[in-house]
Structure 1
Amino acid sequence: MELVYLVLSSIIFFLFFIRILDLYRKRRMPPGPTGLPIIGNLLDVGPKPHESLAKLAEKYGPLMTIRLGSVTSVIASTPDAAREILQRNDEFCSGRNIPDAVTVLETHKVAMAWISPNEEWRTIRKALNIFLTHQHKLDTLRDLRQNVVSGMVDFLCNSGKTNVDIGKLAFAVALNMMSNTILSQNVTTYESEDIGGFKTAVKTIMLTNGKFNIADIFPILKPLDPQNIRGQSKTGYDWLHKMTRGFIDDRLKHRESKLSRFGDMLDSLLDYAEDHESDFKLLHVQTLLMELFLAGTETSSNTTEWAMTELLLNPDIFSKLRDEVTTIVDKDGIIQEAKILELPYLHAVIKETMRLHLSVPLLIPHKTDAQVKLNNYIVPKDTQIMINAWAIARDPKYWDNPLMFNPERFMGSELDYKGQNFEFLPFGSGRRMCPGIPLAYRVVSLMVASLVYHFDWKLPYPKEEMDMSDIFGLTLLRATPLLAAPIPTHIAEWVDSGEKRNI
C-alpha cells in the first residue's frame, strides 16, 4: 500500500508541477481572453478573425494571446507591436506554421512562402529578383505589360458588353501579364467564362488556405480532414500543378529540339537550374511558377477591383484621377507605364485602396523559431505570430476618419508600403515581406489608370446599394463581384447632348 500511495503522490505532484509551470508560462505571455476547455478562444474569433481580433485587442492590448485548440498565437494590433516582431525580433519570428491545406503537394517543401528563411529560401529569392523583380528587369518588360493592357482596352471597346465583371477582367489582365513574362504567351481570353480554369483554381487555394480548419488546431484530426478542406485545396493545387508542369515539359521539348529560344523568364529559370543543379532544381522552377501565378494574379486583381469600387462610389475622386492621368497620355492614347510612376494622385489612390482594403488582412502568419522577448513578455518557441495589418490600418489613433476613402491623406505624406512605416503594412515587413511589391504596384497602377482614362462606368444600381461586404480567406475578397458598364470616353464625350455621362 505504501508503494501505491507513493506512486499516486508522485503522479499528483507531477500534475501539480506541470500545472504550475503552465500558469507561469501563461503569466509571462501577453494577456488574452481565457477561453473554454479544449476549444480555447474559438468562439471569440468567428468567421472574420481580422475583425473579431481587432475588437479583442481593444480590451487585451496591442500584444494579445489567444488559443485555438492546441495552437497558441500572439496577435499584434498596433504599429509598435508590429515593429517589435517584424523589425526588432525579425530573426526569431520568421518561421511558418504550414496549414494542412497547403500540404497536399510535395511542392510546399520548397515553396518560398512556406519554408524557413534558410539558404534554400535565399537562393529562390535571388532567382526571383534576378529574373523578375529587379527594377532593371521590370523596366525591360514594360512593353509586354503595356500590350496586355492595350488588349484589355480593345476588348472593352469592342465587346458590346452591358456589364463587365471588373474583378474577373483584372484577374485575366494580371494573369496574361504574368504568363507573357514567364511563357511569352497569353493563357486566357477575356471572353473565357472561367479564365481557362485559373480563377477557380486560384480562388479555391486562397479560400482554403486562409479558412479556419479544425485539423490545424487539432492535428490528431488531420488524417480525417473533417471539413474536406484539404480535399478542396487539392483540387486547386492539382490543377495548377498539372498546368505548370505542362508548361515546363513543353519548354524542355522545345529546348531539346534546338529551336530558337524564347528568352523569357522560364528559359532563364531553366538555365539557372542547369547552372545551380545542386541547390535549384526543376521542382524549384515549377513551385516558383505556381507561386507566381497565385500571388501575381489574385492580389493585384483584388486591389484593382476594390480601387474601382471606391472610385465609382466617389465620382469627384474618379474625375480628379482622370484629369491627372490625362496629362501624361501620348497623342495616340497610350498610357506609358514609366510616366504613370510619376503621378502622385494615382499613387495616393492605390495606397488608400491598399489601406482600406488590405488583400492579406492578417498577413501570412509567422512562427517563433526560438524563445523570444516581445516587450515585457516571453513568447516560447513555435508560437504562431499574427500581425493584424487590417486593424492597424483602420485604427483611429493613427488615421483620421479611418473608414473614409480619402486618397488626400497620402498626398505630401512620406508614408509608404515598403515595410518601414508600421502603421501601413499591406505587404508586410522584414525578411518575410512580399518580394513582388515592385511588380504588383506597377500592374495595379497601369490597370487602374487605363480603366479610369479610357472609360466612364455606369453601375447597374444606385451607388447607395453597393455591397461592400467581404469574404475572409488568405486574401480578402469582395463578397459580390463589381459589375459596371464601360462607356468608352470617345463615345461619352458626345452622348447626352454633348455632356459626359455621370459616373
Structure 2
Amino acid sequence: MDIIPFILSSFLFIFFLSSSFSHFRRRKLPPGPLGLPIFGNLFQVGSKPHLSFARLAKKYGPIMSLRLGSVTSVVVSSPEIAREILQKHDEVLCDRAIPDVARGQANFHISMVWLPYGNRWRMLRQVLNTQLTHMHKLDSLVELRHKASRELVEFLKEISQRGGPDEIIGERPVAIGNLAFATALNQMSKTCFSQNVAEYESKEIQGFMKAVETVMDVAGQFNIADVFPWLKTMDPQGLRRKSKEAYGWLEEVVDVFVNKRMQWRKDSSLSSSYTHHDGDLLDSFIDYSLKDPDFTTQQFKVLLLELILAGSDTTSITVEWAMAELLLNPDIMIKLRQEITEVVGTKGEIEEADIINLPYLQAVIKEAMRLRLAVPLLIPHNSKEVVEVNGYVIPKNTQTIVNAWAMARDPCYWDAPDKFLPERFLNSNMDFKGQHFGFIPFGSGRRMCPGILLAQRMVSLIMASLVYHFDWKLPRGTTIDNLDMDDVLGLTLRRATPLLAVPTLIKH
C-alpha cells in the first residue's frame, strides 16, 4: 500500500470535516467579518474599538461576532439586543471576562468588579445598598461633600486672583480635568475617611492621578496576553506589571487610613468617651464587619479602593467633557447659570438639596454623559452557559461587549446625535438608571454601577459650583474653532488634550 496518498487523503478528509464543523459553528454564531489566520479580526479593531465596532455593526448588524486572536467575542450595538443581554438573559450573562491586568490588583479575586455572580457578590451589593447608596446614608454624609465643594470654590477664588503667565491678574488657566479629579477624589475620601487624601496642586494629588490613570489606561489597552492566553505568564507588554505598581500605590494609601482607624477605635473603646469618628463609610464598614464575618477587613479595603478609584476617575472625566461642551456653547453656559442663580439666589453656596430643583443642570449632565460616555464599552460580560440571543448562539465562556457609545449616538434613536443638545432631556422621563437602553452610561441589570445616586450628586455639585461662582473662557490662543475635542480610550474615555480654561469670579 502506498502510504503517501493515504496520508494525504486522510489529511484532506480531516481538514474537510474540521472546516465543515467550523462553518457550522460559525453559522450559529452572530454574523461578523472574516478574519486572518491566527489573528482573526484584531487588525480591524484599532486603538478606538468603540468606533471600530460601531462601523462594523453598520455592515454586520446589531449583534455580531469577532475573533480576537484565539478568543471569540460578541458585540452588541442596539438597545433592543442590549435589553436581551442585560435584562432578559442577565442571569446567564452577568459574569465577567477577567483581563490579565486585573490580576495586578493583589486581591482581585474578591473584587466586586471581577467576582462571579454569587453569594459573595450579593453580600457586597447589599453592603453598598445599606451603607453607601441608601438615601438616608447619602443624606447623612452630605456635609462631607459640601466641604469638598467649598474647598474647590476657595481654591478657584485664589487662582482667579493670581497672575497668569504674563502676570495679568485673572488670566491664569487651570486644567479642568485635574481640578475635577482633585475635587472628586476629596469628595470620595471625605465620604470614606472624613478627610482629604491630598490637597490641590500637591504631590499626593499627582501621585493619585498617575496611579488612577495607569490603572484605567492599562485596563483598556490591547493586551496580547488576553487574546492569546498562553502568553499570560510572560506578560509580554508589561501591562500587568504596570497595573500591579499602580494598584500597590493605591492599596498602601487605603491601608494607612484603615489601619489607623482600627487602632484608634481599639484604643478609644477602652475609654468611656468612645464615639464613632464621623459616621463615615469606613466606620460603617468596620461596624458591618463585626456583624458579618464574611465581610473581612481585607474585603472592605478592596471595596474602599475601588470606590475611590471609580468615583474619582469617572466623575472628573464627565465634568471635564461637560465643561468643554459648555465652553463650545456659551449660550448653554449662560442658560445654566441663570437657572442655578434663580434657585440658589445670593446665599453664596450650592447645596445638594438645590440639585433636585435644577432640571437644566441635570439635562446638561445627561447630555454630556450621552455624547461622551466615560466607559463607552461598559465592562465586558461573560456567558456562564450557552444562550440564544436574537436567533444566534452565544457559546459558554464568550466575552460579550455592549457598545453603549454606539447606542447613545444612533440616529435611529436620537435626533442630531452628534450635537450637544441638553434640551432633549427636558420634559423627558429618560434617565440613566438602566431602563432606557439607548442611554446606559452606568450599565444595566445585576452588574450595573451601584454608585449611580452618589455619582449624580458628586457631578452635580461640582458642575453647579463651577458655573455659579465663576465665568469661564478659553485661554488666549485657543478658540471654539481650534479647541481639540479628540478622545483617547483606556477603560475610560478621556480627552486627548487636557481642557484648560480661565476662571473669573462672579459676585452674586
TM-score, structure 2 as length reference? 0.93
- The secondary structure found in structure 1 opposite 2:95 is coil
Which whole-Å deviations, capped at 9, do the CAs of 1:173-202 have from their partners, x for residues lacking one? 111111111111111111225515111110
The structural deviation recorded for 1:81 is: 1.3
- The secondary structure found in structure 1 opposite 2:410 is coil
- The answer to whether the 8 A contact 2:471-2:504 is kept is yes
Aligned to 1:377: 392
- The answer to whether the 8 A contact 1:310-1:405 is kept is yes
Distance in 2 (CA, whole Å) between partners of 1:120 and 1:74 is 27
The structural deviation recorded for 1:330 is: 5.0
Aligned to 1:91: 91
- The answer to whether the 8 A contact 1:299-1:359 is kept is yes
> Unmatched 5+ residue regions in structure 2?
163-171, 269-273
Task: Determine if the alignment matches structure 1 residue 239 to structure 2 residue 249.
Answer: yes
Counterpart pick for 1:348 among 323, 339, 363: 363
Distance in 1 (CA, whole Å) between partners of 2:10 and 2:394 is 30
Aligned to 1:332: 347
- The answer to whether the 8 A contact 1:207-1:473 is kept is yes
Aligned to 2:291: 275
- The answer to whether the 8 A contact 2:141-2:280 is kept is no
The structural deviation recorded for 1:252 is: 1.7
The one-letter code sitting in structure 2 at the alignment partner of 1:177 is Q
Task: Determine if the alignment matches structure 1 residue 443 to structure 2 residue 439.
Answer: no
Distance in 2 (CA, whole Å) between partners of 1:290 and 1:5 is 64
- The secondary structure found in structure 2 opposite 1:431 is coil
Task: Determine if the alignment matches structure 1 residue 164 to structure 2 residue 164.
Answer: no
The one-letter code sitting in structure 2 at the alignment partner of 1:291 is E
- The answer to whether the 8 A contact 2:105-2:243 is kept is no
Distance in 2 (CA, whole Å) between partners of 1:194 and 1:477 is 21
Distance in 1 (CA, whole Å) between partners of 2:426 and 2:370 is 14
The one-letter code sitting in structure 2 at the alignment partner of 1:403 is D
- The secondary structure found in structure 2 opposite 1:425 is coil
The Cα RMSD (Å) is 1.8
Give the % identical residues: 53
- The secondary structure found in structure 2 opposite 1:465 is coil
Aligned to 1:209: 219
Counterpart pick for 1:471 among 463, 468, 488: 488
- The answer to whether the 8 A contact 1:165-1:482 is kept is yes
- The answer to whether the 8 A contact 2:340-2:464 is kept is yes
Which whole-Å deviations, capped at 9, do the CAs of 1:230-262 have from their partners, x for residues lacking one? 111111111111111122111121122125431
Aligned to 1:39: 39
Distance in 2 (CA, whole Å) between partners of 1:181 and 1:344 is 26
- The secondary structure found in structure 2 opposite 1:413 is coil
The structural deviation recorded for 1:341 is: 1.8
- The answer to whether the 8 A contact 2:144-2:194 is kept is no
Aligned to 2:380: 365
- The answer to whether the 8 A contact 1:328-1:335 is kept is no
- The answer to whether the 8 A contact 1:65-1:73 is kept is yes
The structural deviation recorded for 1:2 is: 9.8
The one-letter code sitting in structure 2 at the alignment partner of 1:377 is Y
- The answer to whether the 8 A contact 2:95-2:384 is kept is yes
Aligned residues: 490
1:284/1:10 CA distance change after superposition, 3 Å? farther
The structural deviation recorded for 1:12 is: 6.2
- The answer to whether the 8 A contact 2:343-2:357 is kept is no
The structural deviation recorded for 1:15 is: 5.1
- The answer to whether the 8 A contact 1:76-1:82 is kept is yes
Distance in 2 (CA, whole Å) between partners of 1:316 and 1:4 is 80
Task: Determine if the alignment matches structure 1 residue 487 to structure 2 residue 504.
Answer: yes
- The answer to whether the 8 A contact 1:328-1:340 is kept is no
TM-score, structure 1 as length reference? 0.94
